Amino acid sequence: MPPPSSIDLDRFRERADRFIAELDEEYYRHYAGLKDTLDLAAIYERYSDLTDLEQANALGEMADGDWGIRELWRFASEGYLGELTREQSEKVAELEASLEAEVDGEKVPFRMLRPTIANEPDRDKRERLDRTRVELTAEHINPLYLEGVDVVRRAVGELGAPDYTELYRRFGFRLDELASQCRALLDSTESLYEESADKLFRARIGVGLAEAKRWDVLRSFRAPQWDEQFPEDRMLPALEATLSDLGIDLRSQQNVELDIEQRPKKSPRAFCAPIEVPGRVVLVIQPMGGADDWRALFHEAGHTEHYAHVSPDLPVEAKRLGDVSVTEAWATLMEHFLLEPRWLSRRLDFPRPEEFAAEAATGSLYLLRRYCAKLLYELEFHGATELDEKAMSSRYVELLGDALKIEPSPTDYLGDIDASFYVTGYLRSWALQSQLRNHFRERFGSDWFANREAGSLLRELWGEGHRLNADELLADVTGEELEMDAFAESLREQLR
């Protein structure tokens, strides 16, 4: 296939934009509970030219240091792999929406098992719920994951790379540097994590870290004792007031839709669907109340405002592709308002805000260590010459168990892997938002989240979309280099 001309590239960009829009619409309708099935086949068929192997390889030959072309190459390659595993993805989504667990005579939809575990005060019942989740996963879902893994491992060679990890290095992912920072961070935060997690588990579920099991984790971080401070009916008003303080009128944003309707099959977690960027961005929430629900809402609101403010003049690689660490940083920045004692007091007239913020910081430290271990595991998983199921499930338990001091289920060794090394997006985003937050505090004061000038700067940066990656954005705003320990240091400050 000859190299694409500039006209070919412009057409590719236009069709890529439409392809992603249709996919996001389909994902939105399914996970918002508007349709039972996730029907991707017809969409992939209409845009099959974008995910063709020859197209992907032709873009790869052109990339050679050009960021935009490299992003189109990555998009085409991921699309090629996504088409090959589309059938498995559809079946997994259908099973997750249709499977039911029966525990103690009660039927629980599969997607509601984790929320049910989080809301269950009885420890023995939490264990039964988790064991049922594990059994259903092993019987119905893992075989499909294995099929998909096998397909991807064969197809990566067709994209010119010896393995999945090397493919992403060629896409510009600095995997080895990030892994090195993760190892150092796991070492430097171990004693802090053990002390703070032990304290939190004892306070919330009555057992220390050494006795805690995986079915206790969701309950511990659910924090039902704080529910009264995070009522369902104040979620959206608090979000609207927070955005208003920054100079943003959520209700008047014509390009933002709020999907707050209750539906039986709607995902229990808030999510953002950037169907048109920036023309139609949907914030989906099924409000249930509680701190975790509030965090999810504010996180997805961060994505929503980012995509809603992106300049419409940017090419698709800057509007929809690029470094996901950037949009995840904006999401986490807004989510972490709930770790700000001054924000808690301002928005919720919150009693003991420092106590809640410290507990929330422990949860963030848990996630940070979990994702550090996840990256190390995924690098081993994708770098293995052959997939040894027993060895990899054991390695998954070893790496995550050592990081968290709580043994995960070996059954989750497949489902816990995110495509496209998305784990790096979260890790880098946490560093980026920490360093940006420090900059906002220094420039606008400790109440920067209620400062119109800070809001103006946010909107300006949001308008850049993904034109800059996380490293470039941080250097442009602060002159600093991205450091994973910046997030850890912010947590240390709250836990001292």
Closest CA to 314 of 272, 274, 277: 277
Contact 302, 334 (CB under 8 A): yes
Residues 6+ apart with CB under 8 A from 119: 219, 222, 224
pTM, to two decimals: 0.91
Share of the chain above pLDDT 70, in %: 100
Element (H, E) at 376: helix 353-383
Confidence of residue 263 (pLDDT cuts 50, 70, 90): confident
Give the Cα separation of 270 and 285 in Å (integer): 4
pLDDT tens-digit readout, 134-160: 999 999 999 999 999 999 999 999 999
How many CB atoms neighbour CB 335 within 10 A?
22
pLDDT for residue 346 is more than 70: yes
pLDDT for residue 86 is more than 90: no
Residue 364 token pair: 């963030």
pLDDT for residue 36 is more than 90: no
Give the Cα separation of 148 and 19 in Å (integer): 22
Share of the chain above pLDDT 90, in %: 72
Pick 269 or 114 by higher pLDDT: 114
pLDDT for residue 119 is more than 90: no
pLDDT tens-digit readout, 411-427: 999 999 999 999 999 99
pLDDT tens-digit readout, 362-419: 999 999 999 999 999 999 999 888 888 999 999 999 999 999 999 999 999 999 999 9
Q: Which amino acid is at 455?
A: G
pLDDT tens-digit readout, 276-291: 999 999 999 877 778 8
Report, as an integer, the average pLDDT of 87-103.
89
How many CB atoms neighbour CB 397 within 10 A?
18
Give the Cα separation of 63 and 73 in Å (integer): 7
Residue 29 token pair: 């309708």
Element (H, E) at 86: helix 86-98
Contact 16, 24 (CB under 8 A): no
